[in-house]
Structure 1
Amino acid sequence: MTAPATPYRPLDIAAELIRCPSVTPEDAGALAVLERYLAPLGFACERMRFSDKDTPDIDNLYARLGSGRPHFCFAGHTDVVPVGEAAAWTVDPFAGEVRDGRLYGRGAADMKGSIASFVAAAQRIAAEGFQGSISLLITGDEEGPSINGTKKVLETLKARGETIDHCIVGEPTCVERLGDMIKVGRRGSINGWLTVTGCQGHVAYPHLADNPVPKLLEMLRRLEAHLLDEGTAHFQPSNLEITSVDVGNSATNVIPGSARAVLNIRFNDLHTGASLEKWMRDVCDAVAAETGARYTLKAVTSGEAFLTPPGAFSALIAAAAQKVTGVTPELSTSGGTSDARFIRAHAPVVEFGLPNQTMHKADENAGIDDITRLADIYEAVLRGYFAGQAEAAA
């Protein structure tokens, strides 16, 4: 198929995507916008819809150009977080308005702008030809439960024998300006719901009750006081944060029957979700043995820590960013989780995209110049990637 003669403008694509109010789990036409740009370039566009008990059905798009290797994949998401307080916005969140050199709207930074930049870069490469494959793995479930999205697409590809050689995720990774940070890994995350059960009673007759609050507080004190680690060469120290403590007690003269707490641990590659769950249970068991506390702990790991060791792939992206922006990127593992946590089991993966100062905020926006230059960076990455693979094969 002959590629369109008119160059794609990433700003136009980004604005069209923003005009699709694709708040998780709604697609709102966002994937159709991408298909309309990708199909004329020769991409085979495949919708993958997955469902799961008690979670929304999700549409995903897998679009691939070429069938050979090496296979370079761009991963991203078209779903966005809710608008929040509408009155806090000075623009229509889904109008894709341009003002003072910036594109405004929900998803401008996270991450419809990055997707648009990659599509524009892919057009330039497709027009000239290359040896290998380029794909886009776009989900509508990154900001939601992340159950029916990237993870299931990857499982489907693996089941039918498709291999991804390298992947870049277009998350907004830059801090102060475009090009200043590349994510080569992420810390893991585990949530814990801790409940201590006692016996409700009157505060004037404590011997007839069993107050769960002091026992819960002692468990939390020991968990919070423990130094998990001091960090590693690539990761900051792991940290445990208590995010909620509640007894649901509106009375001042009643000893509650139960007390609950919620906590989260962001951890580096010195730990796993399983090892941290065991540690939490050991601490709680010790308190229970000393105090007679009865407790339950539910622990859910939403992502394990991972690192793509700095090497040729991250160096390629760093060189492309520096060439376009003049900025030397920092290789970092800071921040929250992303779908890279699923991709890491299938291919080396790094994250690089727009500045992240306005993501998830009212009046979310991205600089038009940044969107344009990001397309130039992605183009340089693709050219360097396929040229390097060709040289290695020679």
Structure 2
Amino acid sequence: DAEAWTVDPWSGEERDGCVWGRGALDMKSQVAAEVAAACALAGEGWRPGSGELMVVVTADEEAGATYGAKWLCEEHPDKVRCDVVVNEGGGQPFDFDGRRLQTVCVAEKGVFRFTLSTDGIAGHASLPRIGDNALTKLAPLVEAMRHQPSLQGTPPAEAFVQALGLDVGDLDGALEAAEARDPRVAVLLGPMLGVTLAPTMVSASEKINVIPARAELKVDCRVPPGLGEDDARRAIEEVVGTEGYRLSFAETVVGNASALDTDLMGHIRAFVEREGSADGVAPMVLPGFTDSRWFREAFPDCVAYGFFPQREMDMFEAMPLIHGADERIPIGDLGFSASFFADLAPRVLG
């Protein structure tokens, strides 16, 4: 809604030390910083001592990458084959318990969307007891999903807990401690620590005066990397039980991750330390999706991290702006991130 904006959302206007506009944070800013860094290196006469530096830019990551990174990795892998990928999904700083941390996205959760179906007997709605309403049978299932399944740690999620200075041996206690100190961090941490269930769509009768004989509840289910359909099924049954519905999975995409202890992580930690932009880094699991998945899948030895370093706008200020009104990025952060990319390439490639 353009009327919700302070500026023209398509203007790219510079105001109050920021560039404003749709996609300023997600992720025209990172594209600009990467291209600027590559151009600066080339202009200075730098050439890789080994390997090559590629800037890969595609436009349909949020539409499934059908004609972008997915297509390139599957149909033309030799053109994008790489050992290291620096992508979106991390780099925003946040404060917790007196320390500033900078996120590095090392993993992404999988998607196991499913449908719960209930059956009844149709009838005229003017006589509620003449039928058996399938829709009302969904109500307790929806209510049950106010609660999430038990927590389950994975290496990248436990690395985030450790970065917060919390006890990885007691995940429930760690989440409670995060909630007590900063509920915003708990909102971020909780989904990293296991399967999540979010009911989003209900369908039943097509006419308002007909008691439905069938009802369906669609649920967005996200599963940590390393876990699969069996883990999702156990989590579902833990929350809603095993009776009174039929379960069918509609979309299953296994999560993905890169190793934590890598040269790339070392370069990122060293940059953060040199620049003093944070007190440390926090490897994290992204609940959503980026193009890193396609590179990890196509090239199993590839290390793909999300890291677009910022220091002027913290994570909790930036997140509500993504895809929202008045999306903007500080100009200083554009320069800061470009300096990271320009510094990283010679360190990796010589």
Q: TM-score range by the shorter chain?
A: 0.7 to 0.9
Separation of aligned partners in 2, 1:279 and 1:117: 41
What aligned pairs does 1:206-225 form with structure 2 within 5 A after superposition? 209-217=131-139
Q: Which residue of 2 aligns with 1:167?
A: 85
Separation of aligned partners in 1, 2:221 and 2:12: 37
Residue 245 of structure 1: which of 202, 221, 233 is its match? 202
Cα drift, residue 233 of structure 1: 4.1
Contact between 1:215 and 1:287, CA under 8 Å: does it hold in 2?
no
Separation of aligned partners in 2, 1:89 and 1:107: 13
Separation of aligned partners in 1, 2:256 and 2:231: 12
Q: Which residue of 2 aligns with 1:365?
A: 328
Q: Secondary structure at the match of 2:217?
A: strand
Q: Residues 285 and 374 (structure 1 numbering): CA distance in 2 closer, same or farther, change over 3 Å? A: closer
State the Cα deviation string for residues 138-196 of structure 1 (Å, max 9, x = none). 111112233222111111232x4763111110345414499821111122222223332
5+ residue gaps, structure 2, are: 158-191
Q: Which residue of 2 aligns with 1:89?
A: 5
What aligned pairs does 1:188-337 form with structure 2 within 5 A after superposition? 188-202=110-124, 209-217=131-139, 227-235=149-157, 236-238=192-194, 239-248=196-205, 251=208, 254-273=210-229, 275-276=231-232, 286-288=242-244, 295=246, 297-302=248-253, 304-327=255-278, 328-337=280-289
Contact between 1:111 and 1:172, CA under 8 Å: does it hold in 2?
no
State the Cα deviation string for residues 308-360 of structure 1 (Å, max 9, x = none). 32322112122223323432322222442211122212221000115551221
Q: Residues 216 and 381 (structure 1 numbering): CA distance in 2 closer, same or farther, change over 3 Å? A: same
Q: Secondary structure at the match of 1:130?
A: coil
5+ residue gaps, structure 1, are: 1-84, 388-394
Cα drift, residue 271 of structure 1: 1.4
Q: For 2:282, give the aligned amino acid.
A: E
Q: Which residue of 1 aligns with 2:56?
A: 137
Q: For 1:245, give the aligned amino acid.
A: V
What aligned pairs does 1:344-363 form with structure 2 within 5 A after superposition? 344-345=296-297, 346=299, 347-353=302-308, 354=310, 357=318, 358-363=321-326
Paired residue total: 296
Separation of aligned partners in 2, 1:335 and 1:279: 17
Q: Residues 153 and 243 (structure 1 numbering): CA distance in 2 closer, same or farther, change over 3 Å? A: same
State the Cα deviation string for residues 254-313 of structure 1 (Å, max 9, x = none). 53222121211222135124652587599999425xxxx6x4624212452424323221
Cα drift, residue 105 of structure 1: 0.8
Separation of aligned partners in 1, 2:21 and 2:8: 7
Q: For 1:123, give the aligned amino acid.
A: C
Cα RMSD after superposing both structures: 3.2
Separation of aligned partners in 1, 2:47 and 2:323: 37
The higher relative CO (CA closer than 8 Å, separation ≥ 6) is in 2
Q: Residues 335 and 325 (structure 1 numbering): CA distance in 2 closer, same or farther, change over 3 Å? A: farther
Separation of aligned partners in 2, 1:162 and 1:203: 59
Separation of aligned partners in 1, 2:8 and 2:148: 47
Q: Determine if the alignment matches structure 1 residue 102 to structure 2 residue 59.
A: no
TM-score normalised by structure 2 residue count: 0.73
More helix per residue: 2
Contact between 1:303 and 1:337, CA under 8 Å: does it hold in 2?
no
Q: For 1:199, give the aligned amino acid.
A: I
Residue 150 of structure 1: which of 69, 83, 95 is its match? 69
Q: Secondary structure at the match of 2:193?
A: coil
Separation of aligned partners in 2, 1:260 and 1:313: 46
Residue 342 of structure 1: which of 286, 294, 312 is its match? 294
